[in-house]
Amino acid sequence: MAQDIMEQLDDMKKDALKEIGNIGAGNAATAFAQFLETKVDMTVPSVEILPISEVPEITGNIEEPVVGVLLQVMGEAPASILFILLEDSVERLVGMMADKEVDFSDLDDIDLSALKEIGNIISGSYLNALNKLTNFNLIQSVPECAVDMAGAILSTSMIPLSKTSDHTLLIKTQFIEGSQAIEGFFFLIPHTGSLEKILEALGFDLE
């Protein structure tokens, strides 16, 4: 049986990852607020280790159409960042940015690039925090976007991790803008060996 780091994460390591999530999300909220020129709050991120089979269900309905923005993280600890926005949130968010009525079933290229830009800002802020804490120089790729059923986007994004584990690490964050909750799911998906490197850089002895 392969050694599965996901099954060895104790509360202390989870707390450390949660703290990275917290700091990253705080940075991201600030960047996001500046971008939208409004006040944006973020909920405290939750860190969960899930069996891979449950992943397609984590945003709710597997078949529900969503927007997924995927970025590759390159450097010492390769990873993917996936940002998922549900239908209502996409309409509100793009509506806020473009100052117009937005119909999810009729998103154009400009709407999608606006969403990619949000993915860019959020993951950039997140990586900044991660780099500061670990002394890594992680950089991100150009974002890619897909509009399709949640389960298909989620399962595909988990592939790099699923090669070495039957579990996944999920950091979920929610933004709140004014009275309208815009719910975004943010996932950090460490590729093979990366979680170990992050934990070691944070001072954990994994031997």
Partner 1 sequence: MSKEEVIKVRMAEYGVAKAPDQLITIGLGSCVGITLYDKNKKVGGMVHIMLPENKKGLKPPKYADTGIPLLIEELEKLGARRSRLKAKIAGGAKMFSISSSNNSSLNVGERNVIKVKEVLQEENISLLGEDTGKDYGRTMKFFTDSGRVRITSHKAEDIDI
> Which residues contribute to the site for partner 1 (CB under 8 A)?
1-2, 52-57, 62-63, 65, 68, 70, 72, 74, 78, 141-142, 144-146, 148-160, 162-166, 191
Angstrom distance (rounded) from CA 103 to CA 130: 35
186, β-bridge pairs? 83
CB of 70 to partner 1, least distance (A): 5
Nearer to partner 1, 38 or 53 (CB): 53
Give me the phi and psi of 178, to 5 degrees please.
55, -135
Nearer to partner 1, 27 or 80 (CB): 80
CB of 189 to partner 1, least distance (A): 11
75's tokens? 């450097």
Nearer to partner 1, 22 or 157 (CB): 157
Nearer to partner 1, 128 or 156 (CB): 156
Crossing angle for the helix pair 11-36 and 109-134, to the nearest 10 degrees: 130
Angstrom distance (rounded) from CA 70 to CA 51: 21
Nearest to 125 by CA among 38, 40, 196, 13: 40
CB of 8 to partner 1, least distance (A): 15
CB of 166 to partner 1, least distance (A): 5
CB of 112 to partner 1, least distance (A): 13
With helix as H, strand as E and coil as C, how does 156-194 read? HHCHHHHCCCCEEEEEECCEEECCEEECEEEEEEECCCH
Nearer to partner 1, 119 or 184 (CB): 119
Q: Are 148 and 65 in contact (CB under 8 A)?
A: yes
